[in-house]
Structure 1
């Protein structure tokens, strides 16, 4: 009977965690860029609107503009919080590995809780970014349900696909948390 040998040793648990945390930080960076692009848009620019029917203008455009900025700031804070927690966990793993002869000893309970807290921060950031985009659509295309449904047609994929993606993400986080 032939014996099989591995060419490479299996990845250590800490390397897998660092890779997962790196991915989380990279995704948060991309979303943070989207937040800054959203904040750079000036909702008070009258030439920046695509609304043709004056009855579809938002009744309180100042409150919608305030919501846009507010949700972008909440989103930015959530992504920044999530990234800082993930980077702190990475540093803890690396420091522990340095002092333990490159074999990391990390309290798995703290690591799991930190990863869940970071994932919750990312999920909250996504929800706030989605809410900001709903307000941007209302500002650009008109009130929801007005003008032949253009704004509603733009919002429906957003509010259906983002939560599905978040459910998949939270499902994988929960799966990783229980392993």
Structure 2
């Protein structure tokens, strides 16, 4: 025989929900992995914050001052805090998605909490990228030469860094927002069906 139609209906109803859970889990894993790479960059940047270091420009007026090193450390610490917040929220959300029962997963309050946590995690990562980029501009000024010194190499490096990060964020943010809203709609559609 064909088996119990109610059982097969129940199984087919659970499949899209399980797929949504898997998508959430994979997205959260990817977010944590990316944050880990950025965190590594933070520590590389922190190792560059040394006072009295000469720039490659080899002109004393192009050497970075204490303000550059101080700003570098502050921005690196804020960047690290953002990536840490993003990763911890993503990990907590992954645990929630993994262990919650089907009824809890569909619950409107839990959907709102998941949506808020996902948005917090994504935006913390975005702000981490912004602070990391600002700190990398200070690394360029410390190593290559101050931007105020009109060092061509420093301007090229800073310009390329900012342009590439802006391009990356202009792709990442809209696609992530679209994925989050689509995911929320799919869960809501699944709830409305049942």
Quickly name the TM-score band, shorter chain normalised: 0.7 to 0.9
Confirm or deny: 8 A CA contact 1:138 1:151 kept in the other structure: yes
Deviates more, 1:10-19 or 1:122-131: 10-19
- Structure 2 counterparts to residues 1-150 of structure 1, below 5 A: 12-44=19-51, 46=53, 49-58=55-64, 61-97=65-101, 105=105, 107-144=110-147, 146=149, 148-150=151-153
Shift of the 177–74 alpha-carbon distance from structure 1 to 2, 3 Å rule, reads same
Confirm or deny: 8 A CA contact 1:51 1:142 kept in the other structure: yes
RMSD: 2.0
Deviations 1:97-155 (A, max 9, x none): 4xx5xx87253222222111100000000000000000111111112153551100110
TM-score normalized by the length of structure 2 = 0.77
TM-score normalized by the length of structure 1 = 0.83
Counterpart CA distance in 1 for 2:83 and 2:124 is 6
Q: Which runs of 5+ in 2 are unaligned?
A: 1-14, 183-194
Q: Which runs of 5+ in 1 are unaligned?
A: 1-8
Deviates more, 1:105-114 or 1:31-40: 105-114
Size of the aligned set, in residue pairs, is: 164
Confirm or deny: 8 A CA contact 1:94 1:104 kept in the other structure: no
- Name the structure with the higher helix share: 2
Deviations 1:145-174 (A, max 9, x none): 535511001100111110111121110121
